[in-house]
Amino acid sequence: DARVTQTPRHKVTEMGQEVTMRCQPILGHNTVFWYRQTMMQGLELLAYFRNRAPLDDSGMPKDRFSAEMPDATLATLKIQPSEPRDSAVYFCASGLPSDSWTVTGELFFGEGSRLTVL
Amino acid sequence: RKEVEQDPGPFNVPEGATVAFNCTYSNSASQSFFWYRQDCRKEPKLLMSVYSSGNEDGRFTAQLNRASQYISLLIRDSKLSDSATYLCVVHSFSGGYNKLIFGAGTRLAVHP
């Protein structure tokens, strides 16, 4: 059963520390998204890749966040330095090629990385 | 103003009740619409698409009103297992890219 895999599932860190979250999209999916979910804001789109190329990261605070896809099987989201307001659940999602997800609406989400910054 | 807005709830209803959630979107050029379901501490999953003519999937009915930029989800004969957060999702094309924009969700609690 193909699924999106995210690590770590939980992370507690202190303010100022670097945090790296990793995502393995479903094999064959060429679109990868990073979303952040908080109680107040809901699911916010942070970054978006197609064929490993970053298309849109306008939702991401550029001064401390960075997102990359070093290869087709790995996407990373890094926060440096982390702050308490970064505490949230970070979801990675992947979508089928040819943007068919725009028609079906179906993105496949990982289980999320729950980040707590003290 | 957020691009997709939902009443956060919670909606507390007894089993067997009918409940409806609404969602409004601000981008009149939005092209397609969906409902996702998210169980507590789990990832969101697609529930159903929303078609212009309205559509049903068992006890679930989704409707779209483009003129008012409004989407609804109706759940009939609520079950305990329907307890979850329901996310309204809008497909937009902006800045040259397709995006799925999620609402913050409406929480439903079905009690015995």
| Cross-chain residue pair A43–B43, CB shorter than 8 Å | no
DSSP state, residue A26: P
User: What per-residue confidence (pLDDT) applies to A3?
Assistant: 94
User: Nearest chain A Cα to B94, which residue?
Assistant: A56
pLDDT tens track for B78-106: 999 999 999 999 998 877 888 899 999 99
Tokens of B62: 């989704």
User: What per-residue confidence (pLDDT) applies to B64?
Assistant: 95
Q: Is A49 on the interface with B (CB under 8 A)?
A: no
Looking up tokens 């995210």 gives A6
CA neighbor of A95 nearest in space, from A25, A35, A45: A25
User: What per-residue confidence (pLDDT) applies to A101?
Assistant: 85
Q: How far apart are the first and last CA of chain B?
A: 37
When pLDDT is averaged across residues A1-14 and rounded to a whole number, the result is: 94
pLDDT tens track for A80-108: 999 999 999 999 999 987 778 888 889 99
- The proportion of chain A whose per-residue pLDDT surpasses 90, expressed as a percent, equals 75
User: What per-residue confidence (pLDDT) applies to A59?
Assistant: 86
Is the bond leading into A81 cis (omega within 30 degrees of zero)?
A: yes
Q: Is B51 on the interface with A (CB under 8 A)?
A: no
pLDDT tens track for A53-83: 988 888 898 899 999 999 999 999 999 999 9
Q: Is B98 on the interface with A (CB under 8 A)?
A: yes
Q: Is B102 on the interface with A (CB under 8 A)?
A: yes
For the purposes of burial, counting CB atoms within 10 Å of the CB of B57, is it exposed (0-12), middle (13-18) or buried (19 or more)?
exposed
Tell me which of A5 and A101 has the higher pLDDT.
A5
B97 near A56, Cβ under 8 Å? yes
Q: Is A59 on the interface with B (CB under 8 A)?
A: no
Tokens of B59: 């006890």
Q: Phi/psi at A90 (nearest 5 deg)?
A: -105, 120
pLDDT tens track for A26-45: 999 989 999 999 988 889 99
Portion 58-97 of B in contact with A at CB < 8 A:
87, 89, 91, 95, 97
Mean pLDDT per 10-residue run, chain B (112 residues)? 89 97 92 95 95 92 94 97 97 84 95 96
CA neighbor of B100 nearest in space, from A78, A23, A100: A100
- Interface A:B, Cβ pairs < 8 A: 54
Is the bond leading into B112 cis (omega within 30 degrees of zero)?
A: no
